[in-house]
Amino acid sequence: MRKALGLLLVAIVSARCAGETRAAPEQKPLIDKTLVVWVSPANLDQRGGTALTVDANGIDRFDGVVFGELQPSVWMPGSNHYSRTEQQQADWPRETAGPDEFVQMAVVYQGRSVAVYRNGEPYAKYTMAGEPYPFGPQSVVMFGPRHLHNLNDCFVGRIKDARVYDEPLDRATIAAMRPGEPILGLAPWAWWDFATTGTYERTGRFNEIKLSGDATIADGCLVLGADRATMIAAHGPDGASQVAALPKAWSASDPVPPAVVQSTRLLRERLLADPYRPGYHFCVPEDMGRPGDPNGCFYAAGRYHLMYLYNRNGVGFCWGHVSSKDLVHWRHHPDSIGPGDGDEGCFSGGAFVDDDGTAYLSYWMLWGNKGIGLARSTDRHYESWRKLEANPVIKSTEWGITETRDHDGNPLVYGSADPANIWKKDGKYYILTGNLLVLNKYGRQADAPPEHQGDRLYVFESADLEHWRYRGVFYQRDERWTDRSEDNMCPSFLPLPSSPDGGPPSGKHLLLFISHNKGCQYYVGDYDRPDDRFLATGHGRMTWGDNTYFAPEALVDEHGRQIMWAWLTDNPEGEPEKGWSGVYGLPRSLWLGEDGTLRMRPVAELEMLRCRGQTHGDLALADGQTRTLDGVVGDSCELELTIDPKTARQCGVKVRASPGGEEQTLLYYDAETKSLVFDASGSGIDGRRRLERAPFALSDGEPLKLRVFVDKSVVEVYANDRQAICRRVYPGRDDSLGVVLFAGGGDAVFSRVQAWEMMPSNPF
């Protein structure tokens, strides 16, 4: 970490590097000044970090708002060797703010006089022993470590707004300040409004910003974690040939700065060149899809609508919005919901379209004891969403939990997190909520009551979508299928059709959900309409061994098809530097098989991406033999394999394979263990490199039918419409593009092999 930070500092603060000359903005020296910051310490035991520092950059000179360096829990004006700091602080007030409480700290420098204010009230005042220091044009601003010459003592907490003024301000002016709001007639020397503009500095003085360690922008704040979190702001080179200077804050109503056009083009070109960014699996367009749940999908007016959860830089958790006519090509809409109107962000939820065409999004309101919120849209493209004034329509008493009493006065506890899609029955509305937080609080202990152990959902009823009545636990967990460690979140409850093309409902319902420790799974069963309870008759999983296939979301379209998406949670290091994060599995059509179990296959619309196909037949492979398919585009292809396993213990295909087998991903049927296998143990240089087995057995004489999709870092394999595994792989070699058929432990015949190149459908 020290080496990484050292490289970071070389990149940021060196005035001349490799012959580069930095042109700093013209300015008078910063001497008399005011530092103001709205800050929330994560704990009161930390020592010596800064919420805001001005550093001379090049010599050891700094002034900053430092916490707990000389006295525990005491704010002080930090400076190099305490040259401008009063060291006798025993009588200074100690901070008492909790981890969710923000305080305004201000330090005013006027000549040798220094005054400190907390929330506009006097905190400390003294006369510095030495002379004030003039900070020149190469100075930088820091958050986390108190100065450039010590990167070990870092502040841990959240910062909402930070400013530097090049003049001393009086107490009344400081007390009148509010985060995110300017002071009329008073221009800051530097200003970060993290809730509005993220890391962008609003005056334009500092156009090069670097985050390192455990530093992120989340929920409208700069969040400084425990792992040497650092943010450094410097004035970078103007007019560099390949790097656009960061623009000032701007909005959709402002003229577009030229730097934004340049940056946008460079980002698009960077994403197109990314070797791991898929071409036809949905990707979050930019920023951090972590968590990146699919949310709020619905079908209306001839289009499929899909929301995606992402952490919008400088804003917080929002729902992005895309729509499509064909499930393959997606149009981007404005974000549907985000922080504001009573919440600080939006977590997972579902969608519902009422009889009059009004669409509703159900979501988990952030943070704390808020609960479940709803938003509605009535415009023809569902681009304008308004949150209900009644939010939260299901109220939490603490994060994700509601503790109340029933009609008889007995204690009642239910979850108020991760709402499902709404459904309508006999003129009333119904919704489900998840139980992770209830399980964590009441069900993890060895002697926990059975009613709080394991997965469960809670059902609510409403006549008007604003007032909801708790109806009870939606289903009873069966220990044959899930264990007491598993929760139920991200639920989706919809009728199952009887064919992949939709048609009439089968009479069964599908309950998709996750447990956080074991990923996506499902129940097939009967909906007891009179009692509004679910009676599960079968259970299955969609991920095994870890939780890579995660956070399902589903809809029913005009044909009666049930179609689902899931987030692939395999997130390697360094994603922020790549500029994007978040990939979904292919849209799967789900239906009920004749034997009462779930069937699945990718939607038929994906076939429009096929091109340059090739077909082979009757390829017999003896034990240990392989056959390379020449001419297949190994990082963007679809394969259909019909195989007679004969005596082979294993038979299938290797993809993303290097010529010498140094890297390869194996997809095969294991007749001995009766399983579909995805072996990523040798897949590459990053990600979850492990072997995953899904239960799958062929009946006597039944051919093995594999469908395989390869899309840069995503590989999916489907077996006989009954089982599927989807994972991400990260080959490190440019030649890991081979597609190789193989058999082991006996003979197998590949009676039909088809391969197509798959054309990219993502815009970039």
Per DSSP, the residues of 573-621 read: TTHHHHTEE-BBPPPEEEEE-TTSSEEEEE-GGGGGGEEEEEEEEEEEE
Closest-CA residue to 388 (of 378, 375, 406) = 375
The rounded distance, in Å, linking the Cα atoms of 413 and 417 is 13
Contacts of 614-619 with C-beta under 8 Å, sequence gap 24+, read 614/754, 614/755, 614/756, 615/752, 615/753, 615/754, 616/750, 616/752, 616/753, 616/754, 617/751, 617/752, 617/753, 618/749, 618/750, 618/751, 619/741, 619/749, 619/750, 619/753
List Cβ neighbours of 577 (8 Å cut-off, separation of 6 or more): none
Locus of tokens 């300015």: 27
Output the CA torsion sign for 9, 11, 16, 18.
Answer: positive
pLDDT digits (tens, 9 = 90+) for 24-50: 444 689 999 999 999 999 999 999 999
pLDDT number for residue 196? 79
pLDDT number for residue 22? 34
- Cβ-contact 456, 475 below 8 angstroms: yes
| pLDDT at residue 17 tops 60 | no
pLDDT band with cut points at 50, 70 and 90 for residue 248 = low
Domain boundaries, the chain: 2-238, 287-602, 611-758
Query: What is the greatest pairwise CA distance in the chain?
Result: 92
Q: What percent of the chain has pLDDT over 90?
A: 79
| pLDDT at residue 246 tops 90 | no
Average pLDDT over residues 376-391: 95
Structure tokens belonging to residue 751: 């009676």
Closest-CA residue to 578 (of 273, 314, 293) = 273
Q: Within a 10 A sphere around the Cβ of 200, how many other Cβ atoms?
A: 22
| pLDDT at residue 18 tops 50 | no
Spacing of C-alpha 305 from chain mean position: 19
pLDDT band with cut points at 50, 70 and 90 for residue 235 = confident
pLDDT digits (tens, 9 = 90+) for 300-355: 999 999 999 999 887 889 999 999 999 999 999 999 999 988 898 999 999 999 99
Average pLDDT over the chain, rounded to an integer: 91
| Residue-by-residue DSSP string for 637-703 | EEEEEEEE-TT-SEEEEEEEE-TTSSS-EEEEEETTTTEEEEE-TTS-SSS---EEEEE--PPTTPP
- DSSP letter for 283, please: B
Closest-CA residue to 568 (of 216, 218, 283) = 283
pLDDT number for residue 250? 67
Locus of tokens 């597609």: 739
pLDDT number for residue 237? 56
pLDDT number for residue 95? 96
The rounded distance, in Å, linking the Cα atoms of 291 and 582 is 8
pLDDT band with cut points at 50, 70 and 90 for residue 437 = very high
| pLDDT at residue 202 tops 50 | yes
Average pLDDT over residues 673-687: 96
pLDDT band with cut points at 50, 70 and 90 for residue 4 = very low
pLDDT digits (tens, 9 = 90+) for 407-421: 888 999 999 999 999
Q: What is the 3-state secondary structure (H, E, C) of 153-194?
A: EECCEEEEEEEEECCCCCHHHHHHCCCCCCECCECCCEEEEH
* Class at the top of the CATH hierarchy for domain 611-758: mainly beta
- Cβ-contact 372, 392 below 8 angstroms: yes
| pLDDT at residue 568 tops 80 | yes
| pLDDT at residue 467 tops 60 | yes
Of 144-153, 272-281, 323-332, minimum mean pLDDT range: 144-153
Q: What separation in angstroms does the CA of 36 have from each of 52, 103, 371? A: 8, 10, 33
Average pLDDT over residues 387-396: 96
Omega before 392 within 30 of 0, i.e. cis: yes
| pLDDT at residue 77 tops 50 | yes
Of 23-32, 131-140, 429-438, 716-725, minimum mean pLDDT range: 23-32
Structure tokens belonging to residue 90: 């025993």
3-state secondary structure of 504: coil
Average pLDDT over residues 52-80: 94
The rounded distance, in Å, linking the Cα atoms of 280 and 322 is 14
CATH-assigned architecture of domain 2-238 = Sandwich (2.60)
- CATH number of the domain at 287-602, out of 3.20.20.150, 2.115.10.20, 3.30.1330.10, 2.40.50.140? 2.115.10.20
| pLDDT at residue 16 tops 90 | no
pLDDT number for residue 160? 96
Q: How many residues does the chain have?
A: 764
Average pLDDT over residues 284-300: 93
pLDDT digits (tens, 9 = 90+) for 519-538: 999 999 999 999 999 999 99
Closest-CA residue to 667 (of 650, 684, 648, 689) = 650
Tell me whether domains 287-602 and 611-758 share a fold.
no
Output the CA torsion sign for 511, 513, 517, 519.
Answer: positive
Tell me which of 432 and 273 has the higher pLDDT. 432
pLDDT digits (tens, 9 = 90+) for 94-144: 999 988 899 999 999 999 999 999 999 999 999 998 899 999 988 999 999
